[in-house]
Structure 1
Amino acid sequence: MENWITEVMNMYGYIGILLLIALENILPPIPSEVILTFGGFMTTTSNMSIIGVIAVSTVGSVIGAIALYGIGLLIDVNRLGKIVDKWGYILRLTSKDIDKANAWFHKFGVWTVLLGRLVPLVRSLISIPAGMAHMNFGIFLLFTTVGSLIWNSVLVTLGAAVGASWNTIVGYMDTYSNTTLLVLVVIFVLFIILFLKNRVKLNN
């Protein structure tokens, strides 16, 4: 995949970067680390600029995020609640639990979207719950843009700084991604344990 990504970027330049980053947001297995660091490296071997690469990659990020936000709007909380009412007994969930989660997102959603854009794997998918919660689109757009701008700026600048060694940054980012995934899994497990304990206490 890495070779395909670099070929597209070499052939289409800014447009290639924009399209690849938009796809990366919709299809998380496409690594933004490769696109952005290689894009940074290209600024040292072509007429592309760091600001230009950051700008088009941020536009691509926002386009992809909007697409996922739209999907979240289609899978609204009421529809999900009906599904949970029918099948939620398997996980001991009820539609009330969904309502609580939705209320939590409304309360902390802005910061969830902003910080989520800086976390591998989460950065793409965070747009779906934002859509499901009907988060104010203007605020969603603002914080998605800010978070994406920070992420893209760091990786593009690093890619330009290390030049031909841009691939070493990808290696470090893989380690960061794996560590982040492990931490998220641990947090999720702890959340489930605490959630089930609270449910047991309420039932007793």
Structure 2
Amino acid sequence: MTGAGDGSLLSTIADWAVSLMESIGAPGAGIAIALENLFPPIPSEVLLPMAGLAASRGSFTLVEAIAWTTAGSVVGAFLLYGLGAWLGADRLRRTADRLPLVRGSDVDRSIAWFDRYGPLAVFLGRMLPIFRSLISIPAGVARMPLWRFGLLTTAGSLIWNTVFVLAGYLLGESWPVVEQYAGPLQFIVLTGIGLAAAWFITVRVRQRILARPRT
């Protein structure tokens, strides 16, 4: 179905997803997306168009493709939410105090930020590569109400999944075009993460240097 045989990682993931969908139908698409949430390196930008392509070939309906992939997104998100809740603020504070350049108070500030902007972060985060999985962990740490987390996750996932499933449905065998357009978005997100990390490290190192007693 993929028409790809170059042995690339993209082709391998696509072939695996196709095999799963052909074996058990639309639920296979849901399982693939649930795993993508747990392992962010698996790109939803590849799996979702494959579900749309399978729907265009009559393996299951377009509605089933969107419904099952969204269900998979929600299940994966709740598993990561559970991980965040298990970690908890106290455990993260103790861990942060043992790490260089990080403080327990950073955890408190992060939770305070999430209490204020968490709903928007969860909703929009579901439509960003990498963040669409990771945003569930701080939601669990902050113990966002389950009903709110579920509603926002479902809404954000439904938008993201519908766009990419429809793209695969309409493009058919030309679905790899989707990855060409989604790639720059992932690059922007990763670059932003890298710049934020560099800024954080620079500030903390500077604070350490200024705090040293002068002789």
The partner residue of 2:143 within 116, 134, 153 is 134
1:169 equivalenced with 2:178 (yes/no): yes
Q: Following the alignment from structure 1 to structure 2, what is the Cα–Cα distance between the partners of residues 175 and 19? A: 26
1:178 equivalenced with 2:178 (yes/no): no
1:48 equivalenced with 2:60 (yes/no): yes
Q: Which residue of 2 aligns with 1:100?
A: 109
Deviations 1:121-150 (A, max 9, x none): 111111011101111111111111111001
TM-score normalized by the length of structure 2: 0.84
RMSD of aligned Cα (Å):
2.2
C-alpha change, 1:108 and 1:61, in structure 2 (3 Å) is: same
1:37 and 1:170 in contact (8 A); partners too = no
Query: Which one-letter code corresponds to 2:31 in the other structure?
Result: L
2:26 and 2:65 in contact (8 A); partners too = yes
1:26 equivalenced with 2:35 (yes/no): no
Query: Which one-letter code corresponds to 1:76 in the other structure?
Result: G
Q: Following the alignment from structure 1 to structure 2, what is the Cα–Cα distance between the partners of residues 170 and 127? A: 24
Query: Which one-letter code corresponds to 1:179 in the other structure?
Result: I
2:34 and 2:72 in contact (8 A); partners too = yes
SS in 2 for 1:76: helix
Q: Which residue of 1 aligns with 2:25?
A: 13
Count of matched residue pairs: 201
C-alpha change, 1:115 and 1:200, in structure 2 (3 Å) is: farther
Q: Following the alignment from structure 2 to structure 1, what is the Cα–Cα distance between the partners of residues 207 and 167? A: 45
Deviations 1:152-182 (A, max 9, x none): 0000111111111011212322232123211
SS in 1 for 2:56: coil
1:76 and 1:132 in contact (8 A); partners too = yes
Query: Which one-letter code corresponds to 1:171 in the other structure?
Result: Q
Deviations 1:29-86 (A, max 9, x none): 222122110111122211522221111100000000000000001100111112223x
Identity %: 38
Q: Gapped runs of 5+ residues in structure 1?
A: none
Q: Which residue of 2 aligns with 1:70?
A: 82
Q: Which residue of 1 aligns with 2:51?
A: 39
Q: Gapped runs of 5+ residues in structure 2?
A: 1-11
Deviations 1:85-132 (A, max 9, x none): 3x13x21x3222221111111111111111111110111111011101
1:122 equivalenced with 2:131 (yes/no): yes
Where relative contact order (Cα < 8 A, 6+ residues apart) is larger, the structure is 1
Q: Which residue of 2 aligns with 1:79?
A: 91
